[in-house]
Amino acid sequence: MQEINPFTITQVLKELRSSDDPRKLAERIKQIDLGFTAEDELQAILVWLGRCSVCHKLENVAFVSKGKAQVGVPDVLAVFDVVNSNFCTVIEIKTSIKSTLHWSAKYVEGFLRYQEITGIPVLIAWKHPQLGIWTINDIAVFERTQNAYKLTLERAFKENLMGILAGDVCYQLVDGVGLHITYQKEKLIEKEVSSGTETWQVRITDAYFTDGKGIKYTETPPGIFPLFLASPFISNTEENSEMIFHSFVINSQSQSAGDIQFLHNVFPIFLFFSHKNGNKVEWRDIIKKGILPLNGEELKTALETSVGVFSKYEIQQKPQTLPKWLNLSKKE
């Protein structure tokens, strides 16, 4: 049984009356607990990338002096180690498939007051579910409209701090990198005449990896397989009377291929295949148990040492406007 966050139970009990239906209580706990998933995912990704030394949730209730305006308390506190300097930040986490975040003036200004009073920069982490990608932005990049604030998808990517702050990079593998499996046909189990399909009992006789030059590897270099698994590849099957040849190969010309991949997206994809429970990744259990395989720093090393063989390039994005509090005078 999965452990329920104590904040969840406390929040639900405050909202509901003791006379409410127990089923209503259970459903509300489930709804709120699911809301923590994005927070757990981001925390795990930031720590995995290697620059976030500590990241923990904040209780979203603020007590202020009488007569003072209310402040907004972000979701988590995160400390990043950049160029041997610690930068303490607080992050509000959102998931939205829309192309623009529209927030009320009251909501945004509550965070701005928190930032002013504490002196801690407020950031906005936005997960784009359709892309499977996270962006992190300084709250200052929100544009003020007549009575609200907005952040467009375009601006979020242009001012993204995931690279310079969290250590994220973009990469692309070389065409031809792939996994190849050869099967020996042993016995025909079933033949469907109408559809022309056949079911065979087979035995794997060969399995190997290839780099961009077609060189075979029986063991992939450290870090390359997770990068491959998280990249779009094409599948192809050929056969003859005795053998079946199955391959999964990177091909940038295929319709499914993207121009670049984000390193932070490797982690959830890899975990989905190796540590999923049903159709979801149990982020909270992963964080508690420390299941953080091949961290981001190790994968960045794999990219750097394999340029021209397995990878085309590694790119770290810098925002168009560097936040004033992020002093990188020691060279980034």
Q: List the chain domain ranges.
A: 6-168, 171-315
Tell me the CATH number of domain 6-168, given options 3.40.1350.10, 3.30.930.10, 3.40.50.2300, 3.30.1330.10: 3.40.1350.10
The model's confidence at residue 131, banded by pLDDT at 50, 70 and 90, is confident
**pLDDT for 3:** 46
More confident residue, 125 or 229: 125
Please give the helix or strand (H or E) that residue 238 lies within, else none: strand 234-239
Q: Label residues 76-86 b or e (16+ Cβ within 10 Å = b).
A: bebebebeeee
| DSSP annotation of 141 | G
**pLDDT for 127:** 94
d(CA 308, CA 225): 16
Contact indicator for 224, 304 with CB cutoff of 8 Å: no
What's the mean pLDDT in 151-173? 95
Quick check: 7 pLDDT over 60? no
Quick check: 253 pLDDT over 70? yes
d(CA 58, CA 153): 26
Quick check: 144 pLDDT over 70? yes
More confident residue, 312 or 5: 312
8, 14, 17, 18 alpha-carbon torsion, rounded to 10°:
70
Contact indicator for 137, 297 with CB cutoff of 8 Å: no
**pLDDT for 195:** 81
**pLDDT for 209:** 94
Quick check: 15 pLDDT over 60? no
The model's confidence at residue 331, banded by pLDDT at 50, 70 and 90, is very low
Of the ranges 59-63, 118-122, 226-230, 281-285, which one carries the lowest mean pLDDT score? 281-285
